Structure 1
């Protein structure tokens, strides 16, 4: 059996070569046995392979004696919500998120929506499968179909005051993923004019795989924002745990600056709270949080690390530049719905446009955005770059996640991918775009040189 789909934080791979119905059954049985789970909630995204994997997963869980509640097509955060709000012993989402249409995967949590990663049971599940499991034919547990979406929507609305929303015109683009299912529910409850495009779930992804992090995937949303004369635009990945923003001109807003906006919105009601951020780009977030009376805390990148640090610090909010936003009142989980609702609240309260909110921050702390480079030896390049920059006057070197080097007027973070021979570079400066661009070009030449 091909177990290459087990990664540090989830399971993912091509269907049916890596992930198929038998693998799903094995995963369900091993999950229930390892965690002793008696009540498990499951769902699937819009991918064509989702229903078959979902039902096979249910069979594996039931063979181990677990009672399964199936929510059908949904977003990952709907499973998170069910896991913490309805006292399930765990939850499993069948999703390929932003990956190509012929791939799928599994994201797992325990009771309370505590994440399952390689260090907390995922690799044990893999090893149980590798060692061989005697899965009984009898399905001892029950299977019940149930929708929890109305309760979940009520929870989303608790983060904002919809009656104070301005009547914004918003383009909402789920990219034929699952977000449209929830946006339609929210639209009935909000005083907003929401123009929904690509809103019907379609696992063939006729308008491209929903992954707005890729620049080539942004044009359709951007054009729709301009054509509709919208106040701003929104787009999501396939399972909508990440939300992306466009201003009224259709300009894509780097997730880095949205982290600061959401932190500011929350700190208005929770002065003095702790805010977790990743180390790739930091100066803008730290500045906004301190000005708003909060305490910024740096954490290693990745949902398992962010959630763990948030729990340890009892942090109000955690944000990553990759558009993952985590909330204490959402069991420290990430949500692509709470994030846009909070931004809408901030824009309504401030009377400013999205562009007005971010333009000053972009000018104060211009950044490169994340730039990927394929290299032969990640460790060797990191050592070489560190040797070159650590010796320069004023350099402050840290290794929270990869290599970070800060100078008084600019800084960078360089970290390797966990799954491919790629280095990811982020550069920012204090109010000097020309310097940021110069240093970005300089670093890319060093990273991509042969030696």
Structure 2
């Protein structure tokens, strides 16, 4: 079935994912989780409550109990899983996908992700074959409200924040619930954009990476002379930032800034950054007294590596930021709090603070359609064998004055190139050179 992805379940409602399918998914997840307690939350999409009910029906039919913690963001679902000591958790959401979609994100105990190789394939097989355990007796559904505890948890990350004016764009998604919990407790002047929960996403896509999605935010930051713009995606696990000049700030720069701020009180701690990040990120981490670790792309890999390394923080180019004190999970609001902490401590404009980080020239991610992805990676390995090669995720090769990473897409016949160099000329020359290898027949 095409709805079972590498990290979650997602599909068009009701053609691909509907109440009948969701009940089976609930049964399969109940069988997959060894314990008895499954926490379940859902976002504001139009079909989410109805899909939640079908999922819960499936779970209790297998003799497991459902803790219904209601309307929630994905980060709040990770918190609930830990706070409620659940054996597993399901979050009904399609994250930043358009309104026609819905889906589920799964975790086991302690909000450890369930992805393709760690359970989704197994769940898919159970659903496809209607292969469910025979059980006697039903489970029960119990409602729990975790909002107050979650609010206290979020506010525990706030340092001495004062005197800032911030525009916050929630895209009619769950970020508005999360941000509203802390709004009064952080001492900033908030100008809200699209805080009304609306699964139709009437104003713009709930994906800040999409062309045009942050235009209104940029415009409002300039008009209001704000210090910062904050944009959440639909389920609030990702966040993006706009500086005081109305420019979108690259997520690897945000990783560097948050790392610097965290390391003020946590020298020597491990900090992870994804291998597409600018050279400036490990430079800032090391300069700030941190122990930098390069990770592969993808939340389940990063969370696993954070646990192995006991990393205090990790940042990904896709706008995911992870915190050890947040159960090794990602949170848009906690990342926003750390940026506010940083700006307050520095007392300078964000545009000024990121200027010194712009030392290198990056291509951004460039996709190329390639049928035999492995063959191309082998060709690149051979051509650039003089460089320092890492096969952590696709291939990354570092030279003295430039580096590149080429990694295969999980779901499509695409290779994704990220490249950076010390000069613009070198970046353009090497970009064209590497692309000519990738795109040659």
- Aligned residue number for residue 298 of structure 1: 294
- Aligned residue number for residue 408 of structure 1: 400
Question: Secondary structure, in 3 states, of the residue corresponding to 2:289?
Answer: coil
- Aligned residue number for residue 436 of structure 1: 427
Which deviations, in whole Å up to 9, do the C-alpha atoms of 1:298-357 show, x marking residues without a partner? Answer: 122111111111111111111111111111111111111110101110111111211122
| Within-5 A mapping of 1:23-422 | 23-133=21-131, 140-161=138-159, 164-362=160-358, 364-390=359-385, 394-422=386-414
Question: Secondary structure, in 3 states, of the residue corresponding to 1:17?
Answer: coil
- 1:80/1:46 CA distance change after superposition, 3 Å: same
Shift of 1:279: 1.1
Shift of 1:123: 1.5
Shift of 1:434: 3.5
Which stretch shifts more, 123-132 or 94-103? 123-132
Question: Secondary structure, in 3 states, of the residue corresponding to 1:99?
Answer: coil
Which deviations, in whole Å up to 9, do the C-alpha atoms of 1:152-204 show, x marking residues without a partner? Answer: 1110111122xx21221111001111111122221121211111101112111
Shift of 1:86: 2.1
Which deviations, in whole Å up to 9, do the C-alpha atoms of 1:14-56 show, x marking residues without a partner? Answer: 1122211122111111111221231111111222121111111
Could you tell me whether the CA contact under 8 Å between 2:37 and 2:67 is conserved in 1?
yes
Shift of 1:232: 0.9
> Partners of 1:217 and 1:78 in 2: how far apart?
24
TM (norm. structure 2) is 0.95
Shift of 1:445: 4.2
Could you tell me whether the CA contact under 8 Å between 2:51 and 2:92 is conserved in 1?
yes
* Number of residue-to-residue matches in the alignment: 441
Shift of 1:6: 1.3
How big is the alpha-carbon RMSD for the aligned residues of Structure 1 and Structure 2? 1.9
Could you tell me whether the CA contact under 8 Å between 1:43 and 1:92 is conserved in 2?
yes
Question: Secondary structure, in 3 states, of the residue corresponding to 1:69?
Answer: strand
Structure 2 regions of 5+ residues with no counterpart?
Answer: none
Could you tell me whether the CA contact under 8 Å between 1:94 and 1:106 is conserved in 2?
yes
Shift of 1:92: 0.5
Question: Secondary structure, in 3 states, of the residue corresponding to 1:188?
Answer: helix
TM (norm. structure 1) is 0.93
Shift of 1:63: 0.9
Question: Secondary structure, in 3 states, of the residue corresponding to 1:18?
Answer: coil
Shift of 1:408: 0.1
- 1:114/1:137 CA distance change after superposition, 3 Å: closer
Question: Secondary structure, in 3 states, of the residue corresponding to 1:108?
Answer: strand
